[in-house]
Amino acid sequence: MTKPTYTTFDIAKMLDVYPTTVANWVDEGKLKAFNTPGGHRRVLASDLIGFLRKHNMPVPDSFSSGKQRILIVDDDPVILKTISAFLLAQDGKYEVATAADGFAAGQSVAQWRPDLVVLDIKLPGVDGFKVCEQIKSVNPETRVVAITGYATQENRDRILKAGADAYLAKPFRMKALLSLAHELMAAH
């Protein structure tokens, strides 16, 4: 089971490096950490996993379920249910969460830290373009697949400029989405 936070000593032992190496990563801004009131460094499990992936270091098996996290954001409940069911049927490889609007998506990204977001462009309230920019500003390592029923060259160019890693026009084949997900998360 994953601990919520780790000390520099925990991380050093886990990665077989010196604690001063971990402290240097924190001081250099490479590894996000916070200080306790007593001045001790602590690193959130999600930040450590992101750091390890970013630097192509193996993620220890002790972290979470070992499943990749996918957030699906769409205001159409049928699409949410269909994509969720399909991904959950993939031999238990994924943890799946859903959000029906941009605000809920932002909360989920900040708290749940998905590996991949399947993001509809046209959402009520905050649109997918803005949500994509926010996702990438919070965690540039999160991969985004934009989906839309309004497939125009302008929308495609605009969402890719906002930071999306890939684009699919609705309706799309689920296997095409799964292939993109594999490709993007493998490069993660």
pLDDT in tens, 18-32: 999 999 999 999 999
| Sheet hosting strand 94-99, strand order edge to edge | 94-99, 68-73, 116-120, 143-148, 166-169
Which domains occur in the chain, in start order?
Answer: 5-54 (1.10.1660.10), 68-186 (3.40.50.2300)
What is the rounded CA–CA span in Å between residue 142 and residue 132?
A: 10
Q: Is 130 left (phi over 0), alpha (psi -120 to 50) or beta?
A: alpha
Buried b (16+ CB within 10 A) or exposed e, 142-174: bbbbbbbeeeeeebbebbeebbbbbbbeeebee
- The model's pTM is 0.68
**Distance, CA of 172 to CA of 188 (rounded, Å):** 23
Taking the C-alpha atoms of residue 54 and residue 73, their distance in angstroms, rounded to an integer, is 24
Please give the DSSP secondary-structure letter assigned to residue 149: S
pLDDT in tens, 6-65: 889 989 888 889 999 999 999 999 999 998 888 888 998 878 888 887 887 877 656 655
Q: Report the residue count for the chain.
A: 188
